[in-house]
Amino acid sequence: MLVISFEKNRFLGGYGDRIVGLIAVQTLSKMLNKEFRIQWEKENIRPFFEYTAYEEGPQSVVIDSLDNQTLCKQMLMTQDTLFQDPITKFILNQEIAQYRFKDADAYFNAIFATYRALYTETLRPTPLLLDKVDQCIAGHQTIIGIQIRCGDCFMATNKGEWYNTGARDHIHTYLTQIKAAVDSRYPHYAVFVTSDYTGILEESRLVFNNVLYIDDVIQHIDRRPVNADISKVFVDNYILSQRTTELYISANSNYGRVAALSAVHGRIYDVATALRLDKRRLLSKGECIFA
């Protein structure tokens, strides 16, 4: 059995980072014909997702590859027999499944299939989450998703942090060029926007006529919450992934990447350039041996 574990009292990365690790372990489990379980302890996500959880037992062997993609590389690429202990628990936020595959097509087919099942089989939305989704999209059928990563320093949960992508200063330019591209393809549409920048709604309304937005506190789930309701993190990603017609993401953001990789369509674009993105290059921000 292979277990992805998000323990309490550890910095594990944000939602996108967690899903990258989850998908890697799940893809390995399928390839090796082993059971897969989720141990999500740091936050209570059960109000939003139904999933099969495994509670850690004393027989677990722990592989801690947090923030280190290549720690398991040699083992995965060279050893014939892997994970023979009854339970192997992974503390992971990296794409390591690639190292077990010899063939690019086999790898892409396997990991893309796992991503496509993220919100239909692995993390199945609860009625509560779906109700929040429906309230936001309000029956719109053609929805353009836009996700802009500006940096940790803009989030209420990340006081004192400095990380800034520089995107904040270019938001109007990004949105204007996206509007030009989308207007050429769709006569009528709504735009769903999400960002770690609190002014994204006002910026978007300067460009688009019909903006959909969940106006809750923007929080990072790996930090101490400032509001008990952390549903926005999950609802926003679900909408980007499952309810959009086109999707524009910050390609340097795992939050945007996992939404794109699990999306129900292949119309994925870079938010900064409005150019089409190759999903194969979104699988890892580090080494990607087949892309």
Q: With bands split at pLDDT 50, 70 and 90, how would you rate the model's confidence at 59?
A: low
Nearest CA-CA partner of 35 in 79, 63, 4: 4
The pLDDT of residue 183 is above 80? yes
Query: pLDDT at position 219, please?
Result: 87
What digits encode the pLDDT tens for the residues 76-108? Answer: 999 989 998 889 999 999 999 999 999 999 999
Query: pLDDT at position 230, please?
Result: 93
Length of the chain: 291
Pairwise pLDDT comparison (31 vs 224), residue with the higher score: 31
What's the gap between Cα 231 and its chain centre?
A: 14
The pLDDT of residue 30 is above 90? yes
How does the average pLDDT of the chain come out, rounded?
93
Query: pLDDT at position 55, please?
Result: 61
Query: pLDDT at position 103, please?
Result: 96
The pLDDT of residue 65 is above 70? yes
Residues contacting residue 248 through CB under 8 Å, at least 6 positions apart: 144, 145, 146, 147, 174, 178, 269, 270, 271, 274
Query: pLDDT at position 56, please?
Result: 61
Pairwise pLDDT comparison (291 vs 149), residue with the higher score: 149
The pLDDT of residue 57 is above 70? no
CB 94 within 8 A of CB 6: no
Separation of alpha carbons 64 and 45, rounded Å: 22
The pLDDT of residue 222 is above 70? yes
What digits encode the pLDDT tens for the residues 236-245? Answer: 999 999 999 9
What average pLDDT does range 104-115 have in this prediction? 98
Both tokens of residue 111? Answer: 């990991």
Query: pLDDT at position 14, please?
Result: 94
For 212, list phi and psi in degrees, rounded to 5.
Answer: -105, 135
Query: pLDDT at position 10, please?
Result: 87
The pLDDT of residue 228 is above 70? yes
The pLDDT of residue 160 is above 80? no
The pLDDT of residue 20 is above 70? yes
Query: pLDDT at position 148, please?
Result: 98
Q: With bands split at pLDDT 50, 70 and 90, how would you rate the model's confidence at 110?
A: very high
Q: With bands split at pLDDT 50, 70 and 90, how would you rate the model's confidence at 267?
A: very high
- pTM of the predicted protein model: 0.95
The pLDDT of residue 260 is above 70? yes
Domains of the chain, earliest start first? 2-125 (no CATH), 127-282 (3.40.50.11350)
